[in-house]
Chain A
Amino acid sequence: MAVRRVLGLGELDRGRPASPVGRIGEAELALARDLLDTMRASPACVGLAAPQIGVGVRAFALDVRGHKKAVSCHGELVLFDPQVLESDGSELAREGCMSVPDLTGDVRRAARIVVSGLGPDGRLVRMQTDAFEARAVQHELDHLDGLVFLDRLAGPGALHARKVYR
């Protein structure tokens, strides 16, 4: 169990595409614990994908509990080999990312999704979600495909700097 370092954008860009795990073994359980530990270590973090801690595997952790924009909420979860089965609707909202701390951006995503995957107990999970949680799932899925929210922006005007330089 460990809090791992979250990679920055430059390191993510040099990474390889994430591979499916197929089954849950010791390595996958350790990864799940590290994802959760690392996510919990940052109060503002609602999701974290394995590539963000340098692990090229299709897995992410999520926890939107207590977020003011969350409607559906499945609590703290880790999903391996996730896939979107259905998606519907469209919403534009502002996102940030632990790997890109200085920028936020307005991104259009599906408003409702059904996603499946393997839980850490090895069982198949089928999750229907919407609003903020659905957005977070899609954001993490992008990481597994080597994409960041910057690749999904509604134009350059949708890019916002967090910091003010002096």
Chain B
Amino acid sequence: MAHYFLHAVGRDRPGIVARVARALADLGCNLEDSRMTLLRGEFAVMLVLDAPEGTDAGAIEGQLAAVAEELDLAVAVRALDLEGEQSSERTGLPPAGSLSTALSVSVHGADRPGIVAGIAEQLSGVGANVVDLATHVLGREEPVYVMVLDVVLPEAERDLLEERLARAAESLGVRCVVSAGDAELF
């Protein structure tokens, strides 16, 4: 079995998940991790799948061609090397063990271009990695931007990051709150 990453996006309508999942199942593919969500009327699919030996990205896209045509979806498939999932050589990130601190970062304020870039640059500047992110624009007349991120970083960089985020937020005219990412084991 070999792993592939599939992304698909198209105007939302009933049946996208059912048709895509059925086409993949008919090819013998097993769906693993995914995120599928509705954004502003478009349904976006990101998923990792395990395909039978001998299947390649082209074959998977081919299997989905009819569904993609009918539902007007843009579909792309690329090969994944999960053996190297945690390898720092592959990802260019610091060794996984050193990204030991998890933080939640929330940002909100008057909408303007540059908020995501300005905040994200501070994160990458200290070697932090964004693992999950969601944003929304609220309101029409004086739109407000909301961004929430899950971040991992080396513990030693936390204070510097908070300082840099505070300055970036001020120059962007937004509020930025950093808190410990909480995870409890039960």
Contacts and interface: CB of A to CB of B under 8 A. Distances in A.
A155 B41 contact: no
A10 B109 contact: yes
Given A108-B182, A154-B182, A100 B104 contact: no
A156 interface: yes
Interface in A1-48: 8-10, 13
Interface string A149-166: 011111111110100111
Nearest to B177: A151
A156 B133 contact: yes
Given A102-B138, A150-B146, A157 B132 contact: yes
A166 B106 CA distance: 26
A103 B104 contact: no
Contacts of B106: 150-151, 153
B132 A9 contact: no
Given A148-B108, A153-B106, A165-B41, A8 B139 contact: yes
B7 interface: no
Contacts of A152: 179
A125 interface: no
B134 A156 contact: yes
Contacts, number: 69
- Where chain B touches its partner, the secondary structure class is strand
Contacts of B142: 8, 10
Interface in B120-151: 132-134, 136, 138-139, 142, 144, 146, 148-150
Contacts of B144: 8-10, 13
A110 interface: no
A155 B133 CA distance: 8
A108 B179 CA distance: 12
A133 B117 CA distance: 39
Contacts of A150: 106, 108, 146, 148
Contacts of A108: 182
Contact of B148 (A8, A101, A155, A164): A155
Interface string B166-186: 000000001101010110100
Closest 8 CB pairs of A and B: A156-B134, A151-B177, A10-B144, A156-B148, A165-B40, A151-B106, A156-B132, A13-B175
Interface of B: 38, 40-41, 104, 106, 108-110, 132-134, 136, 138-139, 142, 144, 146, 148-150, 174-175, 177, 179, 181-182, 184
